[in-house]
Structure 1
Amino acid sequence: MSLADLTAIDLVAKYRAGDLSPVQVIDDVLARVDELEPRLQATYALDPEAARQAARESEARYRKNAAGPLDGVPVTVKENIATQGTPVPQGTAATELVPAKEDHPAAARLRQAGAVIFSKTTMSEYGMLSSGVSTFHHLARNPWDLTKTPGGSSAGAAAAAAAGYGPIHLGTDIGGSIRLPAGWCGVIGLKPTHGRVAVGNPYPGRAIGPITRTASDAALTLQVISGPDRRDQTSLPPFTDDPRPLALQGTHIALLLDAGPGLPVNPEITAAVTNAAQTLEAVGATITEIPPIITREMLDGLDHFWRVRSAADLAALPENRRAKVLPAIREWTSTADSLTPYDVFHGHTQMQNMSTAVDQAFAAYDFILSPTAPIPAFPADQAYPTNNPLQPFEHIAFTVPYNMSTHPATTVNCGHTSTGLPIGLQIAAPRFQDLRALALAAYLETILPTNPWPTNVHH
C-alpha cells in the first residue's frame, strides 16, 4: 500500500512510533497528486513547498513529543473554507480574487492540530450545483469513471478522497454537497449536527464536515474541528456524544426507499440499500420501511426561496461580473422575479415544515437509512442530473431534509452498480449523535461488499 493510502489514524500511530515521517508521507501524497491530477482536476491553490515545510515542522514536533492529534496528516480544504492568503472564488469567475485575511474556524482547528493543509479543492459554481461544473475551476472528474461527475458542490474533495490524495478532506453542505459527492465517489461524507462545526458565515442548513475513506477518520476529524467560535453565533459548545457503544440488537432503524418528490430511485441503488438494511436486520436490528418524509410542496418551496436568495446575490454584482456567472445559474435565478413575496414566504415556511417532518420521523427510530442519491454519478459536464436549470433539485430529496432539520447524516459506500459506480447509503441520526452515525457507518464498512480503490485512474 502506498503511504498516500494510509488512514489518518494509522499515520498518527506510525509517526508516534517513529516508523514514518510526515515528510515521507507528504512526498508520497504529492506524487499521487502529480500523477492523477491532470485527469481529475480536484485541486486548487496546491502548494507543495509550503506543505513540505509544514511536514518538516511536524516532524520536529514529534521529536519533541509535542505533536497534536492530526500532526503531519495531509489534509485538503474545500476552496470556500477560507485559508489565510488564498482567494476564495466560490467556484465562479464572477468573484474578485482577494486573498483571505485569516483561516476559517475549521481550517484554523486543523492547523492547530498539526495537520498539513497542502491544497484547497475545487467546487461548483457558487456551491449551488451537485456537480463539478464551474466557470473558475477546471472540470473535476470522478476517479471511478472519468466520464462521470464526482458530484458537488464538494467535487474536488470527494474526488481527492477516492483517489487517495491523503486521508482527510473538508467539504461544505447546504443540501447534500458533502454527502452526494461522497456517495458518488464511494467514500465517507458527514454533514454534522448544525453548529457542531463553526461555519463562520452561518446560514440555515449550511454545515462543514469531513470527507474520508473511513468512518474512523471522519470521527477523528470531527472531534478536532468541532467546538464554539466567536465568528459563528450558531456554533455549539464542545460535544459529548452518546457514550453507549453501538449495539444493533434492539436498535430501531427506519428504511426510506422513496423520498417522495424527485427523480425515481435506480433499481440497483434500491437493491444495494435494501441489502444493507437486511444485513443489519440479520444481526438484531429492527428494520421498518417508512413512507416519504417530505412532499413536493416542501421541495418546491425550498427551491423558490433559494432562487430568490441567489437572485439577490447576483443582483448585487456589477453587470460585468454578473455576466461571468454560469449561464445555467443565471437562467435559474432569472425566474425569481415571477415569484411574489407570498411565494417566497411560503417557500421559507416549507423549509420549516421539512424540518418538523424529519423531527417527527425520528420519534420512533434510532437511525433513518436511505439512498444518498436516487441515481448513480451522471456525466461530468452536466451541471444538473436533469440537465435542466429549472429542475435543479430533483436529486436532493434524500439529503436536503437533514440540512433543514439540523440532524447529522453520513454516507457510506454500500455497493457498486453493474458498471462499477459506487452506491451511497445515507445514515441519519438524532441531533448530536454524529459519532453514533459514524459508528454504524464503520460497522457497515466491514460487512458490505466493496471494490478496490481506483488509484490507477483509467483514461
Structure 2
Amino acid sequence: MTREALHELSAPALVELYRRREVSPVEVARSVLGHVERWEQYLHALYLLRPEQVLEQARASEARWLKGEPLGLLDGVPVTIKDNIATRGDPTPLGTAASELIPASADAPPAARVREQGAVLLAKTTMPDYGMLSSGLSSFHKLARNPWDLTKTPGGSSAGAGAAAAAGYGPLHLGTDIGGSLRLPAGWCGIFTLKPSLGRVPIDPPYMGRAAGPMTRTVQDAALLMRVLAHPDERDSMSLPAQDIAWSSFDAGSDRLRGLRVGLLLEAGCGLAVDPEVRAAVQKAARAFERAGAVVAPMKPFMTQAMLDGMDHFWRMRSHVDMRSLPPDVKARVLPYIQQWADSAAGLTGEAVFRAFHQFHLTRVAAVNACRPFDYVLAPVSPLPAFAAELPSPTNDPLRPLEHIGFTVPFNMSEQPAASINCGYTAAGLPIGLQIIGKRFDDLGVLQVARAFELVREPQRPWPQPPSEAIHHVD
C-alpha cells in the first residue's frame, strides 16, 4: 500500500491499520494534506485549513495508538465539519461576509461527538450565505466547485463537504440539511449521504426540519459516523432519546431488497421538470431493485406548488427579519441574490405569513400519507444535474429560488430519513443521485437498503483526480 493511497481509504480500514500498527495517523494526515494541496486551489472546499494543527492532532492520536489506548471509534481518522457546525475556538461565519467572526465557546453536538472519539479535524468546509442556496456561491468563502467538472457547482448548502468527499479529502465529512443541503451536493458530487430522522443527530441551534448527517463515499463510512453521531444532546430540544441501534449491521446484503414494497416517485408535483437523463437513471435503479426481488410501484406526486411557495415565502420572511436587524453597511455584504430574495417578503401581511407557515404542516401530512403504503420510496434527489458553479440556483431568479428542491424538502418536514446514493451519470459525465426514503426513525433500514443498492448497481467510474494529475495520467 503506497502512502499516496492513504487518503482514499475508508475509516474502518484506517482504524484497522492503526490497530495493527501498519500505518500511523501522522502518515494519513500527511497524505490527506498533500492531496488537499493538489486539489484545493481548484475546489475551494475548505475553511480554516491549518496543517500544523492537523499534524498536532495526528501525533497525539499516534501516541494513543502506540499505547494501545485509542480514544474511540474514530481515533486518528480525518474528518471535515461544515462551517455552520460550531467548533470550539473557531468563528462560525455561516458563509456570509455579514457575520461577526466571534470564536465559538463550545463544539456543537456533531463536532463534540467526533472529537470525543478521537477524530482528526482536518478543516471546516465552505457553504453559501446563511446556507440558503443549493450552490457554493458565498460572499465570505471562495466559490466552491465540483471535482467532476470544475465549471459546475458541487451543490449546497453543504457545498465544500460534497466537493471534499468526492475529491478524497479523507473518508468522513459532516454537513447539514433543512431542504436538501446534504442530499443535493451528495447527488451532484456522486457521493453518499444520509439525512437522518429529525433529532437522530442532535444539532445546535435546532430548527424545524434541520438535520446534520454524514457525507462519505460509501455507506460503510456513513454507518460508522452515524454510530458516533446518534446520541442525545440536551442542547437540541428535538433530540431523540437514546436508542440501541445496530449501526454495524448496515450491510444485510442484496437480499435485504427481496419482498420490499417500494414506491417510485418520478414527478415532484412542483418546481422544475425532471431532466430526461435523471429520469432514466432513476428508472434504471428501480429496475435493479426489481431484479433483486423488490416490488416497485409508481407513486403519484404529492407536493404542490403552493406547498413549495409557502415554505419559500416563510423562509424569506425569516431572513428578512434577520437582515432587517443588520446595519445597512453590514447587510450590504450579503450576496445580492439573498438580499433580493429576503427583501421581497417586506410586504407580506401577518395572514400571508401564517398561510405560508401552514404549508409546512400540509407538506408533512402529504409526505407521510404518500409514503404509507410502501416500505421505502425511490426518487430523484434533484430534477437536474449539477448546474453552472457561478449561479446561486438553477433558475438564477431570487423569486423562483427553490424550484429544484421539490423532491428533497418534503422529507425534512415529515422528519423521515432520506439518503442520496449515486445511480448513474449524464452523457457529460456528471453524477446522478438516487434518493432512498424510509419511514420516520428507520435510519438503519435506509442505510441497509442503500448498501444493498450499492452492491447491485453498475460499477462506478473512478473518482475524479486533480487536474494536473489527470493530465499527467493521460500523458
Q: TM-score, normalised by structure 1?
A: 0.98
Does residue 456 (structure 1) correspond to residue 466 (structure 2)? The answer is: yes
Q: Is the 8 A contact 2:256 2:452 kept in 1?
A: no
Which one-letter code corresponds to 1:346 in the other structure? R
Q: Distance in 2 between matches of 1:338 and 1:111?
A: 45
Does residue 439 (structure 1) correspond to residue 448 (structure 2)? The answer is: yes
Does residue 56 (structure 1) correspond to residue 59 (structure 2)? The answer is: yes
Q: Deviations over 1:342-367 (max 9, x none)?
A: 11111111101100111112211111
Q: Is the 8 A contact 2:394 2:404 kept in 1?
A: yes
Q: Is the 8 A contact 2:257 2:452 kept in 1?
A: no
Does residue 287 (structure 1) correspond to residue 300 (structure 2)? The answer is: no
Which one-letter code corresponds to 2:311 in the other structure? L
Which one-letter code corresponds to 2:302 in the other structure? I
Q: Distance in 2 between matches of 1:241 and 1:226?
A: 9
Report the CA distance between 1:159 and its aligned residue: 0.1
Q: Is the 8 A contact 1:132 1:150 kept in 2?
A: yes
Q: Deviations over 1:140-168 (max 9, x none)?
A: 00000000000000000000000000000
Q: Distance in 2 between matches of 1:224 and 1:301?
A: 36
Task: Show the counterpart of 1:125.
Answer: 129
Which one-letter code corresponds to 2:242 in the other structure? P
Alignment of 1:332-351 (within 5 A): 332-351=341-360
Q: Distance in 2 between matches of 1:352 and 1:240?
A: 30
Task: Show the counterpart of 1:33.
Answer: 36
Does residue 88 (structure 1) correspond to residue 97 (structure 2)? The answer is: no
Report the CA distance between 1:337 and its aligned residue: 1.8
Q: Distance in 2 between matches of 1:247 and 1:240?
A: 21
Q: Distance in 2 between matches of 1:239 and 1:206?
A: 20
Task: Show the counterpart of 2:277.
Answer: 268
Q: CA RMSD in A?
A: 1.3
Q: Name stretches of at least 5 consecutive residues in structure 2 with no aligned partner.
A: none
Report the CA distance between 1:456 and its aligned residue: 3.0
Task: Show the counterpart of 1:424.
Answer: 433
**Of 112, 117, 120, which residue of structure 2 is paired with 1:113?**
117
SS at match of 2:346: helix
SS at match of 2:344: helix
Task: Show the counterpart of 1:324.
Answer: 333
**Of 201, 221, 233, which residue of structure 2 is paired with 1:229?**
233
Q: Is the 8 A contact 1:72 1:114 kept in 2?
A: yes
Does residue 21 (structure 1) correspond to residue 21 (structure 2)? The answer is: no
Which one-letter code corresponds to 1:28 in the other structure? S
Task: Show the counterpart of 1:7.
Answer: 10
Q: Deviations over 1:387-408 (max 9, x none)?
A: 1111000000000001111111
Q: Distance in 2 between matches of 1:416 and 1:248?
A: 23
Q: Is the 8 A contact 2:78 2:120 kept in 1?
A: yes
**Of 174, 178, 188, which residue of structure 2 is paired with 1:174?**
178
Report the CA distance between 1:241 and its aligned residue: 3.9
SS at match of 2:345: helix
Q: Is the 8 A contact 1:129 1:152 kept in 2?
A: yes
Report the CA distance between 1:335 and its aligned residue: 1.2
Q: Distance in 2 between matches of 1:317 and 1:24?
A: 46
SS at match of 2:462: coil
Q: Distance in 2 between matches of 1:65 and 1:306?
A: 50
How many residue pairs get matched?
A: 459
Report the CA distance between 1:63 and its aligned residue: 2.0
Q: Distance in 1 between matches of 2:276 and 2:243?
A: 39
SS at match of 1:336: coil
Q: Distance in 1 between matches of 2:74 and 2:95?
A: 28
Q: Distance in 2 between matches of 1:298 and 1:426?
A: 20
Q: Distance in 2 between matches of 1:239 and 1:93?
A: 40
Does residue 45 (structure 1) correspond to residue 48 (structure 2)? The answer is: yes
Q: Name stretches of at least 5 consecutive residues in structure 1 with no aligned partner.
A: none
Report the CA distance between 1:248 and its aligned residue: 1.5
Report the CA distance between 1:72 and its aligned residue: 0.6
**Of 166, 170, 174, which residue of structure 2 is paired with 1:162?**
166
Q: Is the 8 A contact 1:241 1:433 kept in 2?
A: no
**Of 253, 278, 296, which residue of structure 1 is paired with 2:305?**
296
Q: Distance in 2 between matches of 1:398 and 1:254?
A: 13
Task: Show the counterpart of 2:393.
Answer: 384
Question: Percent identity, aligned pairs only?
Answer: 54
Which one-letter code corresponds to 1:9 in the other structure? P
Q: TM-score, normalised by structure 2?
A: 0.95
Q: Distance in 1 between matches of 2:192 and 2:291?
A: 23
Q: Is the 8 A contact 2:38 2:466 kept in 1?
A: no
